[in-house]
């Protein structure tokens, strides 16, 4: 079991309740990363489901839970031979922090009938760059859990030269050797810096709603994250992320609605 597996572990208490312990190692400067929190919920949902894989997850981020004990409460809405539908809540101190609706199914390694190529060509991994390590006092512990190599133009905001477009692109893998799986993908779809950084807007950009789809089980190796946005207006922005595996297959897609950065 890897550190990430331990950090997302869900222990069954009864048919609808799981104990979890939210790990402080996935903080983004105070709040815990949303992808990490989704992975915690999905551990419980999949354990309670007759199917193996979370193919569609929609999550509302009601509050920001703190590290420490919490519970995942699951409710089976419908279960069939092809798919099962589950409502899940992440609860801390008897208050719902996140609400999710998850569809589970069992994916197989079949060849796609149709598949597009990535819309953006990434440089080689060794031509991409790391972000500087965050200052210890920043509380940004998430960076230590993963390795990311960024397409240089998309982090021009770091030196005061944003591209002016909402975009982010990077290679991703866990810091501890681990083949990517659906739970790693849940983290990956929310691992990029907010795409509004590249549009010149900085600060904590809290996610309000995030939907992601698992399209295929990923091959071992680096994942490629391609992020972009379509509209920034009235204090809100959208962010879409595609995740491609080392075999060049689209393995996950996400879209989130978030608030423009504050503070």
DSSP the chain: --HHHHHT--EEEETTEEEEEE-GGGBBSSSBPHHHHHHHHHHHHHHHSSSSEEEEEEEEE-S-PPSEEEEEEEEEEEE-SS-EEEEEEEEETTEEEEEEEEEEE----PPPS--PPPSSPPPPGGGSBPPPPPPGGGTB-GGGGEEEEE-GGGGGGGGT---SS-EEEEEEEESS-----HHHHHHHTT-SPPGGGGGT--SB--EEEEEEEE-SPPPSS-EEEEEE-S-EETTEEEEEEEEE-TTS-EEEEEEEEEEPPB-
Do residues 174 and 209 make contact, with C-beta atoms less than 8 angstroms apart?
Answer: no
Q: Range with the lowest mean pLDDT among 112-121, 140-149, 176-185, 249-258?
A: 112-121
Instruction: Please report where in the chains the tokens 């790693």 appear, as a residue.
Output: 184
pLDDT band at 138 (very low <50, low <70, confident <90, very high): confident
Q: How far, CA to CA in Å, does 205 sit from each of 28, 78, 98?
A: 11, 34, 17
**pLDDT at position 135, please?**
86
When pLDDT is averaged across residues 134-150 and rounded to a whole number, the result is: 92
pLDDT band at 204 (very low <50, low <70, confident <90, very high): confident
pLDDT in tens, 48-67: 999 999 999 999 999 999 99
When pLDDT is averaged across residues 11-37 and rounded to a whole number, the result is: 97
12-17-21-23 Cα dihedral, nearest 10 degrees: 100
Entry pTM: 0.97
146 φ, ψ to 5°? -145, 160
When pLDDT is averaged across residues 83-97 and rounded to a whole number, the result is: 98
**pLDDT at position 261, please?**
76
Q: What is the mean pLDDT of the chain?
A: 96
**pLDDT at position 263, please?**
56
**pLDDT at position 172, please?**
98
């Amino acid at each position: 079991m890897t550190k990430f597996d331990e950090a997302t572990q869900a222990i069954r208490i009864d048919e609808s309740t799981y104990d979890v312990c939210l790990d402080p190692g996935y903080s983004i400067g105070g709040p815990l990363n949303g992808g990490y929190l989704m992975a915690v919920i999905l551990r419980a949902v999949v354990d309670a489901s007759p199917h193996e894989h979370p193919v569609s997850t929609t999550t509302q981020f009601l509050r920001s839970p703190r590290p420490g004990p919490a519970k995942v409460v699951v409710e089976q809405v419908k279960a069939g031979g092809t798919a099962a539908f589950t409502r899940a809540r992440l609860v801390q101190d008897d208050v719902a922090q996140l609400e999710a609706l998850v569809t589970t199914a069992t994916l197989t390694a079949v060849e796609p009938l149709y598949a597009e190529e990535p819309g953006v060509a990434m440089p080689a991994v060794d031509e991409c760059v790391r972000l500087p390590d965050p200052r210890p006092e920043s509380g940004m512990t998430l960076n230590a859990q993963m390795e990311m190599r960024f397409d240089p133009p998309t982090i021009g905001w770091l030196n005061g030269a944003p591209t002016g477009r909402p975009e982010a692109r990077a290679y991703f893998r866990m810091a501890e050797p681990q083949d990517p799986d659906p739970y790693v993908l849940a983290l990956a779809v929310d691992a990029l810096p907010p795409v509004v950084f590249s549009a010149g807007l900085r600060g904590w950009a809290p996610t309000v709603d995030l939907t992601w789809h698992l399209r295929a089980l990923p091959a071992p190796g680096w994942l490629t994250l391609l992020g972009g946005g379509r509209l920034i207006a009235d204090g809100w922005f959208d962010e879409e992320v595609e995740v491609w595996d080392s075999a060049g297959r689209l393995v996950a897609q996400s879209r989130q609605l978030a608030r423009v950065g504050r503070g």
